[in-house]
Structure 1
């Protein structure tokens, strides 16, 4: 199997930590061993137990106190420090101690979107994980499902997801989180339109006499959505953390992206017509 890894990313408040806690509980119930790395130096509390924690190396609070940086600058400094001390990451993930381990890691990343869209920090970390331990990595980009009610927030989120996909150059699964909070507010058939977003959604929003139609930015908005449409890269999987089937369906997509289980021996099928048990006829 080798080492597999999910990089859970997205803006602050998008449900990354809740996703990690939910997935770890789901994997434990399925008796699938997994480890979790907190890569957010600004984290204060968790809904899960960490196998490894970047705050053992550096914390945002310490950087802010010692250097006088604000939250954003301190976070970037912390991540740059990590990128310069990747031997700590190898130790935390047991790369040197067990180089040929079969492991499945969930990595809870910081909520600063610049880390995934134009700073090279995450690319450096990804390249190191590929090189040092042959990790197979999938990016899991989280976006709040509530964004489907606002055209500008939704397509802004699509642009950020696409930017991360282009920048990081790894398999990506984009997730509409917090579906449990809005599932009674949106028609399932309507939701399907948002899972494969295209410019026709913006056409609908800008039709008629509403404020979208009269906006002087209509042409720019349409150009942006057509850019997303032309790349045909961004799609979403809805996640309802109260529904085991929803969690399982998402995990199946991610497992496929990291090729988890492809080298496992299949179980022998049970014979439903066992002659010795009288369950079938002898020919």
Structure 2
């Protein structure tokens, strides 16, 4: 098993979930390379039957079992119904998944999951798959990615909070909510409050007041107030900001996930991490493989770290 679990039969990993376009495939790609830099053996498992042209080396690919285009064509289903069918088919063929995962014993697993929100809020197939994996001694944490641009719209941010809370309660895994694409957040507009307000999910009454200034949302103040009360009553949702190209940001997410799933790395991995973090600015963490089309926002950052330093 991983260095942190020698002598045991435990396997550790991350279940990467979130809406379409939130950066799941890019996250898996970046986290795989980051963990590889510090000596952690990583196996990326693609559980999205609609994923094509993955930018990372794929250890296990659900397309060997079933693909969304095949399901849509043969059963005359749309993309949403097709994805649900694929996940139910995976649940019915867990022996296939167990056999494939066993070939990578000793690795740290990253599960790249589909983007259909219903799969994590009220449908049971993936939840049951994760529960079965727990019986196989997998210690998993859910990494729920949310596009940071939702912070610039108070109405959408309340919606994101509700979705995140529903996902946490339904999936029933240790959970880390992540605000992705932080390097692009300023392109979407000015935040009404400081970033800490959104990551720590502070007093949301201010958000309701801000919404009330919009004539459209004024009529829904009572509804928004009740939604905010539900979120605050549970007091579960908070976020870790992520810029997948920044090594300090990646370390913070990694440490949050390791704390959630109980992974504890050894001395060699710790020394490798310290060496990576203390490297010169010009040696900052970057990954350069070609990204999937829907995730290629990372390629828009074409300045080098040295150029950014010179601009400051």
TM-score bracket relative to the smaller structure: 0.7 to 0.9
Pair member with larger Rg: 1
Distance in 2 of aligned mates of 1:76 and 1:202: 35
Distance in 1 of aligned mates of 2:214 and 2:59: 51
Give 5+ residue unaligned stretches, structure 1: 270-283
Kept in 2, the 8 Å contact 1:202–1:222? The answer is no
Kept in 1, the 8 Å contact 2:180–2:242? The answer is yes
Cα distance, 1:151–1:39 mapped onto 2, change above 3 Å: same
1:17 paired with 2:21, answer no
Cα distance, 1:34–1:221 mapped onto 2, change above 3 Å: same
- Among 126, 146, 151, the alignment partner of 2:130 is 126
Query: C-alpha displacement at 1:182, in angstroms?
Result: 1.5
Partner in structure 2 of residue 111 of structure 1:
115
1:44 paired with 2:47, answer no
Moved more, 33-42 or 194-203: 194-203
Partner in structure 2 of residue 136 of structure 1:
139
Coordinate RMSD, CA, aligned: 2.2
Kept in 2, the 8 Å contact 1:3–1:134? The answer is yes
Partner in structure 2 of residue 87 of structure 1:
95
- Among 235, 253, 270, the alignment partner of 1:250 is 253
1:5 paired with 2:9, answer no
1:67 paired with 2:75, answer yes
1:165 paired with 2:168, answer yes
Partner in structure 2 of residue 199 of structure 1:
204
TM-score when scaled to structure 2?
A: 0.78
Distance in 1 of aligned mates of 2:68 and 2:269: 48
Partner in structure 2 of residue 279 of structure 1:
none
Is the partner of 2:158 in helix, strand or coil?
helix
Cα distance, 1:249–1:189 mapped onto 2, change above 3 Å: farther
Partner in structure 2 of residue 259 of structure 1:
262
Q: Please state which structure has a larger fraction of its residues in helix.
A: 2
1:57 paired with 2:60, answer no
Partner in structure 1 of residue 286 of structure 2:
none
Distance in 1 of aligned mates of 2:92 and 2:207: 43
TM-score when scaled to structure 1?
A: 0.86
Give 5+ residue unaligned stretches, structure 2: 272-312
Distance in 2 of aligned mates of 1:205 and 1:173: 27
1:176 paired with 2:199, answer no
Query: C-alpha displacement at 1:103, in angstroms?
Result: 2.8
Distance in 1 of aligned mates of 2:269 and 2:44: 28
Query: C-alpha displacement at 1:189, in angstroms?
Result: 7.1
Distance in 1 of aligned mates of 2:63 and 2:117: 20
